[in-house]
Structure 1
Amino acid sequence: MKSVRRVADPQTLKALAHPLRVRLLGSLRTDGPQTASELGRRFDESSGSTSYHLRVLAAHDFIEEDPEQPNARDRRWRARHDYTAWRNRDFDDDPVGSEAARFMRRRQLDNVVAATERFESERAEWGPDWDDASGHSDYAVRLRPEAAAELRRRFKELVDSYADDTATSEDAEIVRIYLAAFPVRDTRY
C-alpha cells in the first residue's frame, strides 16, 4: 500500500502550494532521491533556489534527507510519502488554506492538460502498444456521495495494485493517471 500524507493544516498546505515546490516534490516521488543541484538543472533553477524550497518541504515533513547518501559533499533528498491528500472543506473557513487548496486543484488540472498535450505531440514515438493503452474516458453516472467516495478509494487501490505488480518490468514506464469525480448540474459540459 502506498503511503499518503494527509494535510489538514492550512500553513502546511500553503507551504506545498508553490509552483516550484510542487514540481520538486513530484520529481522526488517519480524519479527518486536527488540533490538540490540535480533538481536545479532539471527545472532550470539555481541550486540555491532549489535548496531553499527543499528545506521548506523538509520543514513540513514532505521530504527528508536520503539515508543512503552517495558522498559526504552532496545532500540528497527523498519524498517521505507517495501521495498528498487533503479535504477541501477543511480549509473553507481559512483564507490561506482555501487559496492553497484552490492552487493545488488548479495545478492538478494544469498537469492533466500538459500531460495530454505532451503525449499528443510525442504519440508517434511511443508506438502502437502505448497508443492503444493511452487515452481519455469520461463517464456520466448517477451516484450518491458515499458511492463516489468509494469509487475513488477503490480506484486508488486498483492503481496501487497494478503499480506494485509491474514496477520492475523492463517495459514499464511512468504512466500518469488522473481521476476527477465531482457532481454536475448542467450536463451541457
Structure 2
Amino acid sequence: MTSQENRRITDLGTLKAVSHPLRMRLYRALFVARTATASQLADQVDEAVSLVSYHLRKLADHGLIEEAESQSTDGRERWWKPASYGISVQEEDLKGAPELLAASAAFGRTVNEQRTELHRRFLDERLTWSDAWRSASISSEWLPRLTAAELTDLGAELEAVLEKYDRKARAAEEAGDTEGRENVAVHLHAFPYHS
C-alpha cells in the first residue's frame, strides 16, 4: 500500500537511482498517473518499453515505486505506482557525507532541468490553454531579506498549503470529480544568494 507520507531519501544508492534523468521523468509521470504500465509510461517519455521496464525495476529495487493491482484483464503487464506520497532529500541527512552531497547536487540539477523544461513547454504552448488557465497560471518572484529560521518557517507553511490542495484534489478525483481538472506543476525555490 502506498505510504501517505513522503519518502525521505537518506542513502547514496537510492539518491543515485532517482537522479538518473529518465528515472526521474518516469517517477514524475507515474506520480501524476497514480498507476501505469511500462507501455503507458514508454509512450509518455518516448522511449522503448524494454528500457522503461528496466528503469522501473531499478526504481522498485530502491523502494521508490511498487507493483500496483492490475487495472486490466490482460494480466500480462505489470502495473506500477509510487511507493509513497512523494520523495524528499533533507540537508541534515547529507552532513558529513561528501558522496551524499555530490549525489544530492546531481539530483537537484536533474529535477531543476526537468522543472525548467515543464515551464518552457507551458510558455511555448500557452495559447493552447483557455483564458481561464492562462489567467490562473502563476509566475512571480519575491526577494525578501529573511533569516534562516524565517525561511524554514516560510517553507513549512508553503508545503502545508500545497499538501492541503493536493490531498483535497486527490480525494475529489477518487470520488469521481474530475471535471475541469488538469495536471498543475508548482515549483518553489527559496535559497540565499549574494547580490
| Common fold: TM-score over 0.5 | yes
Hey, what's the Cα distance between the residues in 2 that align with 1:133 and 1:30?
Answer: 20
Contact 1:5 1:83 in 2 (8 A): yes
Which of 74, 77, 94 is the aligned partner of 1:74? 77
Letter in 1 for 2:105: R
Letter in 1 for 2:182: E
Residues 1:49 and 2:51 are matched in the alignment? yes
Question: Which range moves more in the overlay, 111-120 or 28-37?
Answer: 111-120
In the other structure, the counterpart of 1:159 is 162
In the other structure, the counterpart of 1:184 is 193
Structure 2: 5+ residue stretches without partners: 171-176
Alpha-carbon shift at residue 95 of structure 1 (Å): 4.6
CA RMSD of aligned residues (A): 2.0
Alpha-carbon shift at residue 2 of structure 1 (Å): 5.2
In the other structure, the counterpart of 1:64 is 66
Hey, what's the Cα distance between the residues in 2 that align with 1:140 and 1:44?
Answer: 38
In the other structure, the counterpart of 1:124 is 127
The C-alpha deviation readout for 1:34-65, integer Å capped at 9, x for no partner, is 11222223222222211111111111100000
Q: TM-score scaled by structure 2?
A: 0.86
In the other structure, the counterpart of 2:114 is 111
Contact 1:4 1:82 in 2 (8 A): yes
Residues 1:90 and 2:93 are matched in the alignment? yes
Which of 8, 19, 22 is the aligned partner of 1:6? 8
Residues 1:145 and 2:154 are matched in the alignment? no
Hey, what's the Cα distance between the residues in 2 that align with 1:50 and 1:112?
Answer: 21
The C-alpha deviation readout for 1:65-87, integer Å capped at 9, x for no partner, is 00245242111111112321112
Q: Secondary structure at the match of 1:183?
A: coil
Contact 2:67 2:79 in 1 (8 A): yes
Contact 1:13 1:101 in 2 (8 A): yes
Determine what percentage of the aligned residue pairs are the same residue: 32
Question: Which range moves more in the overlay, 27-36 or 157-166?
Answer: 157-166
In the other structure, the counterpart of 2:136 is 133
Q: Secondary structure at the match of 1:55?
A: helix
Hey, what's the Cα distance between the residues in 2 that align with 1:45 and 1:72?
Answer: 22
Letter in 2 for 1:147: E
Hey, what's the Cα distance between the residues in 2 that align with 1:159 and 1:144?
Answer: 23
Hey, what's the Cα distance between the residues in 1 that align with 2:51 and 2:17?
Answer: 15
